[in-house]
Structure 1
Amino acid sequence: MNYTLHQLQIFLKITQLKSITKASEALFLSQPAVSIQLKKFQDQFSIPLTEVVGRQLYVTDFGWEIAEAAEKILNEVDAINYKTMSFKGQIAGRLKISVVSTGKYVMPYFLSDFTNKNKGVDLIIDVTNKQSVVKSLENNEVDFSLVSVIPEQLNLSRVELMENRLYLIGGTKDKFNPKVSTKKIFETYPMLYREDGSATRNAMETFLEGQHISTPKRIELTSNEALKQAVIAGLGYSIMPLIGIKNELKNGDLQIIPFKGLPIVTNWNLVWQKSKNLSPVALAYLDFVKKEKDRIIKENFDWYSEY
């Protein structure tokens, strides 16, 4: 057996993505290079690791066993590298963070300076829905999570980062007539909602119920980007987080429609299980956030004050 760590890395990525093309993109390699390494790796085994049925790549049972072993080997290699850097006085290790979908407009700004300064930190970010974020916290799969609504069922510590403001948003193809009651929007046009369980949807529904507003026409979309494009196209109106529509407001594709009781204001929070034994990397990051959050907000989110 003369397989290399590089081949193990490539094979593991192929099993994770079930595609040579996607693996090559994720590893920043050409597709032929990945195919060649997969063949060289396969040639060292008498049992098939993968098979192609139609145009779909499948991993065999034996392949999954090898992938599991490859992951363990690569994790041990990472641990050796981290220990080496730690002995040199450098911060090294993995930092895992789960982020609710709207939080992708926030979290990178609170990470870039830290990771640029600490080259030995491997960052893993999972951008997903609120339910998956809560599950990752419950299962102790991440160091931190970014949420705008703190799950009450968990015993969490938190650092409050910045405001999350939600406004009534419309497109600009047909300019909103200020002489018409804004309640007519909710009664006349479709209202666009995020999927059930989304924090944005929960905030929107709570607000509308409190205002005794019914929305007879409803359309549901499963991502903020899809929701934003639908509003721009004139499909309907929505209550959306300001954080994700900066460019569209500046370009004149979207407009904020003033409405009593808006904006809805919550806060972005970095949270973690109180019982969690944070790693040295996680502790270093937590210290960084506490010290630098005000500077980061001032440098990157000053535009909030315009709205």
Structure 2
Amino acid sequence: MFDKAGMRLDAIYSKRLNRVSLQLFMFFIGGMYSAYFAPYATQANTRLGSEAGGIETSFAVVDWFCFILLCRTLFFDRTALGVGMLAGFCWLFVGDAIALPFWAGTMALLVHIYRSWWSKLGKIHLWYLFLWFSAALSYGSIYEYTAHPVYLTLFALIFAGCLLYEQALKVNARRQQARLAMFAEAEREKEKLADSDKALAQRISRLERISDLPGPLLVELAQIIHSAQQIVVCMKTDERDEVPGRRFLDRYLPGVEMIVTQGQSLSKQLIDDELRQKTTQDQLDMLIRLRSAFHQQHQALLENDTDDFDSELRTLDKLLKTDGYVK
């Protein structure tokens, strides 16, 4: 509902004729407001009353210009308008109601300029500063600026509270962005791990489908595949094994695949039996070393599980001794 109202207000203010009409309408509102509340003013400078229409004119100028400032925030910064209205409401407890637009407009302008300082501050704000300065001069001819020290302190506290609230919102927004960035990074890492797991599974599957090798090579390859599968199991069951296991498989599985594919393809193309046997023997020697490396890596990953198991056994043994079941 508020979004729709905001869109309608933006549509109204987007046309120049409407903006001019609003300025004139604010003149009418300011005049009516000052005419209604002027008789109730009890703290105004009585010397202005001796001048023909002096105090009424000063009141009208203050209210007109400050209603224009409030109108500005209504269309462009409703947060500033809300803070300004709070400052104006607090003024009612200490001063004449006719001065309410001045304090509300002053606070609204201060907050609006602060909120627009880094991004939206433009030449139009000089015009609104001029309006406020003119209103302040007229206000000074009616009241003393320091006549209400308690309210001035409250006014400053309201503005400071608004600044702190804005800063808290910015800090919260940065934290939210940081959390979102962390979540996005975590999702990317999960996707990378999923892709890596898929690539490992595909590579092991390709090795399992190889069958046109000499018997000794197939035996070594089968043991390598078995150890690789056991390493994958360790990676899935113990997160401590994830990094070393993945690093090992990513480094050596491509080498195994290269040996059994390119090496065998080369052996088939060789005519010289002696050279072919030498190539096959070289493949076998390398697969034997790789099989030993895969076995050792699997055993190294199992050490974590062994240590955990031993720790559980020691804990259970201590419990038995503590409860008196074992001496």
User: TM-score, normalising length from structure 1?
Assistant: 0.24
User: TM-score, normalising length from structure 2?
Assistant: 0.23
The structure with higher relative contact order (CA 8 Å, sep 6+) is 1
Determine which structure has the larger strand proportion and give its number: 1
